[in-house]
Structure 1
Amino acid sequence: MVRMERNALPDWEKRFRAPRVSLPEWAEDAPARSLFVSNATGTFELYAWDRTTGEQRQVTDRPNGTTDGTLTPDGEWIWWFSDTDGDEFGVWMRQPFTGGADVPAVPALAPAYPAGLAIGRDGTLVIGRSTDEEGTTIHVVRPGAGTPEEIYRHSESAGVGDLSHDGTLLVIEHTEHGDAMHSALRVVRPDGTTVAELDDTEGGTKELGLGVLGFAPVAGDARLLIGHQRRGRWEPMIWDPLSGEVTELELDLPGDVSAEWYPDASALLIAHSYRARDELWRYDLATGERTRIEAPAGSVSGATARPDGSVEFLWSSAAQPPQVRSTTGEVVLDPPGETAPGSVPVEDAWVEGPGGTIHALVQKPAGEGPFPTIFEVHGGPTHHDTDSFASQPAAWVDHGFAVVRVNYRGSTGYGRAWTDALKHRVGLIELEDVEAVREWAVGSGLADPDRLVLSGGSWGGYLTLLGLGTQPEAWTLGLAAVPVADYVTAYHDEMEALKSMDRTLLGGTPEEVPERFEASSPLTYVDKVQAPVYISAGVNDPRCPIRQVENYVRRLEERGHPHEVYRYDAGHGSLVVEERIKQVRLELDFALRHLPKSPELPSGPH
Structure 2
Amino acid sequence: MTESTGSTSQEQQVRGETMPDWEKRFRAPRVSLPDWAEDAPHRALFVSNATGTYELYAWDRTTGEQRQVTDRPNGTTDGVLSPDGEWIWWFDDTDGDEFGIWRRQRFTGGGTADGPDEPAADGLEPSYPAGLAIGRDGGTAVVGRSTDEDGSTVHVVRAGQEPVEIYRHRESAGVGDLSHDGSLIAVEHTEHGDAMHSALRVLRLDGSTVAELDDTKGGSVELGLEVLGFAPVDGDTRLLIGHQRRGRWEPLVWDVASGEETDLALELPGDVGAEWYPDGSALLVAHSFEARSELFRYDLASRELVRVPTPAGTVSGATARPDGSVEYLWSSAAEPSVVRSTSGGIVLDPPGMKSPGSVPVEDVWVEGPGGRVHALVQRPAGASGPLPTVFDIHGGPTWHDSDSFAAGPAAWLDHGYAVVRVNYRGSTGYGREWTDALKHRVGLIELEDIAAVREWAVSSGLADPDRLILTGGSWGGYLTLLGLGTQPDAWTIGIAAVPVADYVTAYHDEMEALKAMDRTLLGGTPEEVPERFEASSPLTYVDAVKAPVYISAGVNDPRCPIRQVENYVERLTARDAVHEVYRYDAGHGSLVVDERIKQVRLELEFAERHLGR
Q: TM-score range by the shorter chain?
A: over 0.9
Structure-2 residue corresponding to 1:602: none
Distance across 2 between alignment mates of 1:352 and 1:58? 49
The match for 2:222 among 195, 207, 212 is: 207
Given the alignment of the two structures, is residue 84 of structure 1 paired with residue 121 of structure 2, yes or no?
no
Q: Report whether the alignment pairs 1:466 with 2:482.
A: yes
Q: Which residue of 2 aligns with 1:23?
A: 33
Structure 1 residue runs of 5 or longer lacking an equivalent are 599-606
Letter in 2 for 1:375: F
| AA of the residue aligned to 1:252 | E
Structure 2: runs of 5+ lacking an equivalent:
1-9, 111-115
What amino acid maps onto 2:601 in structure 1? R
Partner of 1:604: none
Contact 1:177-1:203 within 8 A present in 2 as well? no
Per the alignment, residue 391 of structure 1 pairs with 407
The 8 Å contact of residues 122 and 162 in structure 2, kept in 1 or not, is answered as: no
Given residue 577 of structure 1, which amino acid in structure 2 is its aligned partner?
Answer: V
In the other structure, the counterpart of 2:167 is: 152
Q: Find the residue that maps to 1:187 and give its secondary structure.
A: strand
Contact 2:60 2:66 survives alignment (8 Å): yes
Partner of 1:401: 417
Partner of 1:120: 135
Question: Which letter maps to 2:175?
Answer: V
Structure 2 distance, partners of 1:125, 1:281, is: 32
Contact 2:16 2:353 in 1 (8 A): no
Aligned ranges 1:355-374 → 2 under 5 Å: 355-365=370-380, 366-374=382-390
**1:504 counterpart = 2:517:** no
State the shift of 1:492 in Å: 0.1
Letter in 2 for 1:81: F
Match of 1:429 in 2: 445
**Counterpart of 1:176 in 2: which secondary structure?**
coil
Give 1:164-563 correspondences, 5 Å limit: 164-202=179-217, 206-365=221-380, 366-563=382-579
Q: Is the 8 A contact 1:200 1:206 kept in 2?
A: no
Normalised TM-score (structure 2): 0.97
Instruction: Find out whether 1:137 has 2:166 as its counterpart.
Output: no
Is 1:12 aligned with 2:12?
Answer: no
C-alpha displacement of 1:417: 0.1
Alpha-carbon separation, structure 2, partners of 1:314 and 1:571: 26
Task: Give 3-state SS (helix, strand or coil) of 1:468's partner.
Answer: helix
Q: Render the CA deviation track for 1:239-276: whole Å, top value 9, x for unaligned.
A: 00100000110211101000000000100000000110
- Do the aligned residues in 1 keep the contact of 2:389 with 2:420 (CA within 8 Å)? yes
**2: CA distance between counterparts of 1:407 and 1:37?**
28
Query: Which one-letter code corresponds to 2:537 in the other structure?
Result: S
How big is the shift at 1:344? Answer: 0.1
Q: Secondary structure at 2:226's aligned position in 1?
A: strand
Whether contact under 8 Å (1:161, 1:173) holds in the other structure is yes
Deviations 1:179-201 (A, max 9, x none): 00000000010011001100001
Give the counterpart of 1:61 among 60, 67, 71.
71
| Paired letter, 1:271 | A
1: distance between equivalents of 2:590 and 2:106?
27
Deviation readout 1:282-331 (Å, 9 max, x if unpaired): 00000011111111100000000000000000000000000100001120
Is the CA contact (8 Å cut-off) linking 1:179 and 1:204 kept in structure 2? no
What are the Cα deviations for residues 336-377 of structure 1, in whole angstroms up to 9, with x where unaligned? 112100000000000000000000000001321010000000
TM-score by structure 1 length?
0.98
Partner amino acid for 2:476?
A: G
Q: Give the C-alpha shift of residue 204 in structure 1.
A: 8.5
Paired with 1:175 and 1:465, the residues of 2 have a C-alpha distance of 30
Aligned length: 596
Runs of 4+ aligned residues of structure 1 deviating over 3 Å after TM superposition are none
Distance in 1 (CA, whole Å) between partners of 2:80 and 2:183 is 21
Distance 1:43 1:203 in 2: 48
- Following superposition, the deviation at residue 205 of structure 1 comes to 5.5
Q: Is the 8 A contact 1:86 1:572 kept in 2?
A: yes
Contact in 1 for aligned 2:122/2:163 (Cα 8 Å): no
Matched-pair contact (CA < 8 Å) for 1:178–1:204: no
Write out per-residue CA displacement over residues 223-243 of structure 1, whole angstroms, 9 at most, x where no aligned residue.
Answer: 000000000000000000100
Distance 2:15 2:211 in 1: 61
